[in-house]
Structure 1
Amino acid sequence: MTLKELDDKLNSPGFQDPENGDLFYNFFIYQYPADKEYDIRRQIQEFKANLIRPINYVDVLTLNLFEEFCHFLDQKKFLRHPSMLKYLMEKEQRDPSTAKNTQDTLTRNAHSPEFVRFIHQRIIDHITIKDQYRRPYVFMYGIGSMYPYLRVNEFLALYEDYNETEKYKIIVFYPGHRDQNSFRLFDTLPDNHTYRATLLING
């Protein structure tokens, strides 16, 4: 699917209706070459700016998953430290040999129910704003930056318990391509998992 075709789909009244689609899966994956990452990030902001115009009145929540993870860690206390993020960064700077332990801690926190609830609350806070705008979309990107702490298929599986499929659609911008029933992050790293999501393709 080209960016123009994705733009047309996002502007389609039928697609903008959260209740129009699969009753169980409201995840949609848009794939692109990994070397286009920053072009896509600019395009995401263009989509957001265009959709909020009076012709649509659609206010999109954009979530950079990696930045959200950093915010989550920064506000999480760890022992006597007010910020787990700052603690881990300072610890690794003081002693690089702790890098493996730090990575294990980050991976554990990325898979934690607390982080998933943190993302869910961000979505709920957005879609429950009372004003003239509609809020059917969540754009999720920064997937590559989360590797190796969290893969997108893992996040989608973890989020299933919180997902409210009839209220919003999550568009995942994925830097890679599909290889049979799984995906390759950065076009090179296989994940060996089948995705419970709709791949946005031509047609």
Structure 2
Amino acid sequence: MSSVLIIGAVRGLVSEGERVYDIIMQNRPDVVGLAISEEGLDAMKEHLDSTGGKNAELENLEEVIYVAGLEAFGEVRKPPPCFSKAWTAAKNLTITAEPLDLNDEQYTNANCRNISTLEMMTQGRGQRRIVKHQFQATSAQEFVLEFDAVVNRQKGYRKLEAEREEFMALRIKKLTQDNQKVMAVIELERLEGVMKALDVIGVSYSMPS
């Protein structure tokens, strides 16, 4: 019977990359699943190979605000070290790092299914709400959860994230079919939803102590 170890991580925090790397190297799984898309994984690998791991540019206002807030709790980098260090660990162990998240086409379709025209039209207001929001978090973990709650305030966006969580749980289950020891690195914001989805489909898992 396959074992599944789930690692919840704060996306972007350098210290989390070091923690994830150590957990993977200590547990030596057969495969590592990452909560990013196929295209995201390819882009991350290309960036790491071509730049030697230099910090990538932030792409939008949401990323700028996220990084600015998270920097209160430690050094922040892009690509997220929890994923880049997991990929490095997998490479060092000569095992595969697999994408768990929806690919670009699947994400676009899920976006259309879940987010209404009105919600799309008012997205600009949501960005202004993030700018004005006074974060109360006292830790990195609290910050990312609070940020996620603000970003996904509207029902359609919450439904989209739930679909991502269910998809990632199914991908983890699929990895157990060909691997005895599976590890999955999940951004903290999606961790609870992924675990609930794993419970629903009958996949047992543990978390690092």
What TM-score do you get using the length of structure 2 for normalisation?
Answer: 0.38
Larger relative strand fraction: 1
Larger relative helix fraction: 2
Structure label with greater radius of gyration: 1
